[in-house]
Structure 1
Amino acid sequence: MQPTELPDDASLTTSGYNSDSQGRILLLACGALAREILDLKRRNGWDHMALTCLPAILHVHPEKITQAVQEAIEKHREDYDQIFVVYADCGTGGLLEKACTELGVEMVKGPHCYSFFEGNQAFEARGEDETTAFYLTDFLARQFDAFVWKPLGLDRHPELRDMYFGNYTKLVYQAQIDDPNLTARARDCADRMGLEFERRFTGYGDLETTLAEWANRKP
């Protein structure tokens, strides 16, 4: 079954949840994870968990992520019993983790979503074998032009492709769902980049297990 449909890079809040049994929980998440989180909430009946997302485009400017998360936590803190941050480090150089620790909130473990989708232990075990891999998730397969091709100027200067991607040897598509259309789009991205293509079905990986733990966490 496909995850809930919504615009990519959404800034949204879902409400109307049932907080009778386990306390009011807010998931403060990256917009690139909205589809996956909503699907997990629906499938598991986590009606006591609300979701608000910051724009995924923040990943183009990772230096802005920490402040945006801090401001969102302060904005919502009085309305919830618990707040969990659904970001990994995401290029913040440890600053997001430091801020979350100071604010007393927990975040997803891992350096980035590629790691926690595959499973942090499995991703780390690949180590040096993956140093020349470029990763796509379902979100990036959908939003490749907006988040990769155009920000790098390759829509205007395709001759720069090898300068950006010359040190990569393959594109690894980490599929969260089985969707032939997304696989075709990811393969096309690899062709445009001049890279070998590899598809790995990861499902939701450590994202799912982390949210499951949080869903049962007592305030």
Structure 2
Amino acid sequence: IKTVGKLAAQLLDIPNVAERVSLLPENNARTRYCDVAETKRIIRAALAYDCKSIGPFIALLFLIGCRESELRLRKWDEIDLVKGIMKIPRTKNGSSHTIYLSEYMIEIFKHIPRIITNPYVFAGNIIGKPISRPKYAYEIIKQRANIKNPDEVVLHTARHSVASNLISNGADISAVQKLLNHRCIESTLRYAKLSEGKQRETTQQLSSLITNYNPLDIDK
């Protein structure tokens, strides 16, 4: 409503009465992420999916960690499988970004069929166009992967999961920041949801130091 009021004021030169209306506070932060076991099942189900554009796209989302549109709109001339890099000319924050591909990612890219009449990696049914957001296929893949509470697992959950799983398994937070192409570390920390096992490991560290401590060592 506020947007409509603003446009009406600009186009029709009438007072924007919606400007004085306060927005309701909302909490749209998503805390759900897929752990390593769930991620493996999703990737396995995605690579087995019938469409060889959509399946690899979803699998790579859970491996690379870039935004859905940043991967879906990639063209073959932006990917160098020999050097193992994928270039994104313009990301959400306005900068370019280079992603270094693992051997597993490269193998997935190699099995994606190339369509002569379509420059996009994930070619859609329309000539010269990429796939649209694969909502229906994603629901099927989540079902086949036996994902609990599948409504909580959206496409952006893949990006969240990549960051959380990397950090939970010892990856340096600054390296994850670089992978996600975040300008500030605070943005990366929003995705750093440590697994229960990692949290228990962290609390155990000091206890182990204490219980293994020998007071006689002071005199040595």
Name the TM tier (shorter chain): under 0.3
Name the structure with the higher strand share: 1
Task: Give the TM-score normalised by the residue count of structure 1.
Answer: 0.24
Task: Give the TM-score normalised by the residue count of structure 2.
Answer: 0.23
